[in-house]
Amino acid sequence: MFPHDVHLQIGSLLFDDIDQIDLTGPFEVLSRIPNSTYRIYGKTARPVRDIKGLKLTPDASLAEAPPLDVLHVPGGFGQEALMEDEDVLGWIRQQASGACSIFSVCTGALLCGAAGLLKGRRATTHWASFHLLPSFGAIPVNERVVVDGSYVFAAGVTAGIDGALRLAAELRGDDVAQAIQLYMAYAPEPPFNSGTPETAPPAILRQARQSVRGMTERREATARRIAARLGVA
């Protein structure tokens, strides 16, 4: 935990075809951390659209970002287009080298992996890409939130809220995190127990896997190339 009089610079990466709740779920938490500045950074300052068309606008470009204390890397289908984008990967590496906390949500973990940050780390990601983590040298852990030193990994999509609350507790203490959770009235009671591959009905799981099959195959091919580049067996 950091003293409350230490100001924190918190920044999130934004890109085309992001899964917006990977960004906006944690935003609800991170933007409320006391004595901090929260900003969103894109490759350029132009607006982008999430995978369903929601328009989102960065506060500034990557080049304009100060050294961050907390780096938040979301995921979504648009992550695949950045896996070999050295401008973005270099920025992630540079920011992570000085940050006190690195927080990935969903397939944001794969971007961290492509930047070479997952070797030897316990990590998680979205269920459809979980099997790719070893390609980046990570130790896959099938949990909703995984903490490994200064890294916090949240699994798929809505897990970003849980991860952000865990991160808020790490940064400012449990009382602050619980107060944020209360303000958000975050007490989920989903109508179905279908939120993981282990609990979803088999027919629903088969349908879901089929719907992302094309993207999964592209991610697998990219993971193989990056594993070779990183020297991961």
pLDDT at 115: 98
pLDDT at 204: 98
Q: Residues 16-37: what's their mean pLDDT?
A: 98
Q: Helices 213-230 and 202-211: crossing angle, nearest 10°?
A: 70
Does residue 233 carry a pLDDT above 90? no
pLDDT at 228: 96
Predicted TM-score of the model (pTM): 0.97
Does residue 2 carry a pLDDT above 90? no
Local confidence band at 151 (pLDDT 50, 70, 90 cut-offs): very high
* Residue 112 annotated in active site: no
Local confidence band at 137 (pLDDT 50, 70, 90 cut-offs): very high
pLDDT at 118: 98
Nearest CA among 102, 78, 82 for reference residue 10: 102
pLDDT at 76: 97
For the stretch 190-228, what's the b/e string if a residue is b when 16 or more beta carbons lie within 10 angstroms of its beta carbon? eeeeebeeeebeeeebeeeeeeeeeebeebeebbeebbe
Higher pLDDT, 1 or 121: 121
Active-site residue among 71, 82, 88, 106? 106
Q: Cβ distance 139 to 106 under 8 Å?
A: no
pLDDT digits (tens, 9 = 90+) for 54-107: 999 999 999 999 999 999 999 999 999 999 999 999 999 999 999 999 999 999
pLDDT digits (tens, 9 = 90+) for 198-222: 999 999 999 999 999 999 999 999 9
